[in-house]
C-alpha cells in the first residue's frame, strides 16, 4: 500500500447494530457535596465533575495510597503477606477508627491489610507503615514518591492514616487517578475492598462503604471522614464489563455520601458506554516503508484502546488515521508513527498514538537507491 508524500489519511465510519442514539446527555445530578468526579476506569474519560481540582483533606481516603504502597512492597518481595510484625506503642496509640491491635503483640501483614482496608484502622495503617519503612515518616516519603510517579499534581501525604495534618491534602481528580492505579496494578489486593466485614481480636467490624450492600455491581473503594473533611467516598463499580470510578468529597453525612456516589454511578452507566476500539499489538493499518528490508510495516497501538462515548452513538464515531510522511528505515519497534483521531459530530473524543509494531532494518544499497529514485519522482 502506498501513501502520499505529505501524509496518509483514512476516514471510516465505525458501524454498530445498536439502537437509536440518545438525543442529548443531561447535566449530572445535583449532589450537594464539596467536590466530585466520575471517570471511566479503562479510558480515563471524565464523565462528570465539579470542583475536581479543589484542594481537600482526604481523611481515610489516604489509606488508598497506604495500601498501594504496601502492595508495591509485596510485589517487589520487600515484604510478604505472612510476615509478622510487633505492634509498637505508637501504632497502638492511634486515635480514631481502629483495628484494636494489642501493643507488643505480633500481627501479620495480611491481617493488617484487612484491618486497614475493611475496618479503616489507623493502628493498622501505622503498623503497616512501620513494617515497610521503619517509621511512618519514612513511609510517607514513599507514598509521595508514588504520588509523583502517578502524576498526582495536587497531592501530598504527611502520614499513613489521613488524620488531620496541614501537609496532607489532595483533590478529587488525583484520587480518581490513584484509585484507577490501584485497581489496574493490584487487582488481588483491590479485591479485599469488597469484603463486607472483618473480625480481629474477637471484634467484628463491617466495611464502612455503604455502597457495597446497596449496589451489587459495587466492589470498592474507600470511605473517609473527619470533622473538617466531611464525609468522603471513593467508589467503584463494574457493570457489563464497564468500570466506573467516582469520588465524592465533603458530604454532610454517611448516607449523603452513599447517595451521591450511587447517583454518580447510575448517571455514568445510564448515559455512557465504553468499548475497545483497538487491541494491543494488532495491526490497525499497514504502512509503506522506504529504504527498508521490508516495504510494509504493521502499525497499531501499544495497549488496548478503550473509548467512552454517549450511549447509543457508537455508529456515529468517525475515525481518522494519520501517519507520518515518508516513513524511512531503520524503524524501531514502538516508534511513534502517527495517531488515530476519534470524533463524534465533529467534536474530538480521543486521540490515540499509533506506533510501529515491529522493527524494519535498512535494506540493501540497491533497494535503497531504487526507493530514493522513486521518492525523487514523486
Q: What secondary structure letter does DSSP report for 290? A: B
Nearest to 103 by CA among 86, 115, 120: 86
Q: What secondary structure letter does DSSP report for 84? A: E
- Please state whether the peptide bond connecting residue 330 to the residue before it is cis, i.e. omega within 30 degrees of 0: yes
The Cβ of residue 217 has, within 10 Å, a number of other Cβ atoms equal to: 15
User: Do 307 and 342 contact (CB within 8 A), yes or no?
Assistant: yes
The Cβ of residue 243 has, within 10 Å, a number of other Cβ atoms equal to: 18
| Torsion angle, alpha carbons of 70, 76, 82, 83, to 10 | -80
The Cβ of residue 172 has, within 10 Å, a number of other Cβ atoms equal to: 30
Cα 85 from Cα 276, distance rounded (Å) = 44
Take residue 82 and report the three cell numbers written for it.
505472612
Which residues are annotated as catalytic?
60, 63, 120
Cα 314 from Cα 151, distance rounded (Å) = 31
Q: Pairing between strand 242-251 and 203-206?
A: unpaired
User: Do 272 and 310 contact (CB within 8 A), yes or no?
Assistant: yes
User: Do 61 and 68 contact (CB within 8 A), yes or no?
Assistant: no
Amino acid at each position: 500500500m502506498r501513501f502520499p508524500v505529505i501524509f496518509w489519511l483514512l476516514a471510516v465510519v465505525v458501524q454498530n447494530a445498536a439502537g437509536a442514539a440518545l438525543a442529548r446527555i443531561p447535566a449530572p445530578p445535583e449532589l450537594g457535596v464539596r467536590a466530585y468526579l466520575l471517570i471511566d476506569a479503562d479510558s480515563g474519560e471524565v464523565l462528570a465533575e465539579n470542583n475536581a481540582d479543589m484542594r481537600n483533606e482526604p481523611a481515610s481516603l489516604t489509606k488508598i495510597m497506604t495500601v498501594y504502597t504496601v502492595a508495591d512492597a509485596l510485589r517487589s518481595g520487600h515484604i510478604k503477606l505472612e510476615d509478622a510484625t510487633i505492634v509498637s506503642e505508637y501504632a497502638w496509640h492511634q486515635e480514631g477508627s481502629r483495628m484494636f491491635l494489642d501493643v507488643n503483640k505480633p500481627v501479620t501483614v495480611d491481617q493488617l491489610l484487612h484491618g486497614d482496608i475493611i475496618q479503616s484502622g489507623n493502628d493498622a495503617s501505622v503498623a503497616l507503615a512501620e513494617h515497610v519503612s521503619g517509621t511512618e515518616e519514612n513511609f510517607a516519603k514513599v507514598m509521595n514518591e508514588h504520588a509523583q510517579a502517578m502524576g498526582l499534581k495536587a497531592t501530598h501525604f504527611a502520614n499513613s492514616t489521613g488524620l488531620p495534618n496541614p501537609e496532607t491534602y489532595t483533590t478529587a481528580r488525583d484520587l480518581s487517578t490513584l484509585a484507577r492505579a490501584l485497581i489496574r496494578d493490584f487487582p488481588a489486593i483491590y479485591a479485599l475492598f469488597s469484603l463486607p466485614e472483618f473480625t480481629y481480636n474477637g471484634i467484628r467490624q463491617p466495611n464502612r462503604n455503604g455502597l457495597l450492600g446497596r449496589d451489587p455491581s459495587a466492589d470498592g473503594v474507600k470511605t473517609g471522614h473527619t470533622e473538617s473533611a466531611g464525609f468522603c467516598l471513593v467508589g467503584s463499580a463494574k457493570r457489563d464489563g464497564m468500570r466506573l470510578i467516582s469520588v465524592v468529597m465533603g458530604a454532610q453525612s454517611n448516607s449523603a455520601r452513599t447517595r451521591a456516589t450511587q447517583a454518580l454511578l447510575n448517571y455514568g452507566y445510564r448515559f455512557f458506554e465504553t468499548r475497545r476500539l483497538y487491541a494491543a499489538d494488532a495491526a490497525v493499518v499497514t504502512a509503506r516503508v522506504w529504504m527498508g528490508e521490508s516495504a510494509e510495516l504493521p502499525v497499531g497501538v501499544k495497549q488496548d484502546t478503550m473509548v467512552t462515548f454517549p450511549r447509543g452513538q457508537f455508529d456515529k464515531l468517525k475515525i481518522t488515521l494519520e501517519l507520518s510522511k515518508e516513513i524511512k528505515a531503520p524503524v524501531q519497534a514502538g516508534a511513534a508513527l502517527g495517531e488515530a483521531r476519534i470524533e463524534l459530530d465533529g467534536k474530538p473524543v480521543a486521540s490515540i498514538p499509533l506506533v510501529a509494531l515491529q522493527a524494519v532494518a535498512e535494506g540493501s544499497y540497491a533497494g535503497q537507491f531504487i526507493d530514493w529514485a522513486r521518492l525523487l519522482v514523486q
